[in-house]
């Protein structure tokens, strides 16, 4: 398996944030967490965001291969942001009101 540190160098972590409730990594532009719908403060520290990315890659290591194949055509961050946006869209239709 490739070194996870490669992701840290390639992804601009300032464009990402992590949900304090469910720990999902979100695009910084998402107003709500795409997983749980959280609307408050997010974690922006690079260490926390990187930790969240590593959790995603540990549960789905195939993503590293996707990044590698697409890296030349599209930037790694853009690829990841598209992945996050796609998941956000999928969850958008859920009624998250308590
Ligand atoms: Zn969340």
pLDDT in tens, 38-74: 999 999 999 999 899 889 888 888 887 776 665 555 5
Return the pLDDT at 65.
Answer: 79
Give residue 50's domain range.
5-91
For residue 25, the CA-to-ligand 1 centroid distance in Å is 8
Residue 97 is assigned to a structural domain of this protein:
no
Mean pLDDT, rounded, for 2-7: 53
14 assigned to some structural domain: yes
- Inside any domain, residue 98: no
Q: What is the C-alpha to C-alpha distance for residues 87 and 58, in angstroms, rounded to an integer?
A: 18
* Contact (Cβ atoms closer than 8 angstroms) between residue 25 and residue 84: yes
> 35 alpha carbon to ligand 1 midpoint, in Å?
5
> Taking Cα atoms as reference points, which of 38, 27, 7, 36 lies closest to residue 81?
27
- Is the residue at 67 inside a domain? yes
pTM: 0.57
Who surrounds ion ligand 1 at CB < 5 A? 19, 21-22, 24, 33, 35-36, 38
Establish if 62 belongs to a structural domain. yes
Counted domains in the chain:
1
In a domain, 30, yes or no: yes
């Amino acid at each position: 398996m490739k070194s996870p540190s490669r992701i840290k160098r390639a992804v601009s972590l300032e464009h990402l944030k992590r949900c304090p409730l469910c720990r999902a990594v979100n695009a910084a532009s998402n107003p709500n967490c795409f997983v749980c719908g959280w609307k408050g403060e997010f974690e922006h520290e690079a260490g926390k965001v990187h930790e969240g990315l590593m959790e995603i890659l540990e549960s789905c290591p195939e993503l590293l291969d996707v990044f590698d194949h697409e890296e030349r055509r599209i930037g790694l961050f853009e690829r990841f942001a598209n992945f996050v946006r796609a998941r956000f869209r999928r969850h958008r239709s859920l009624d998250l009101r308590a």
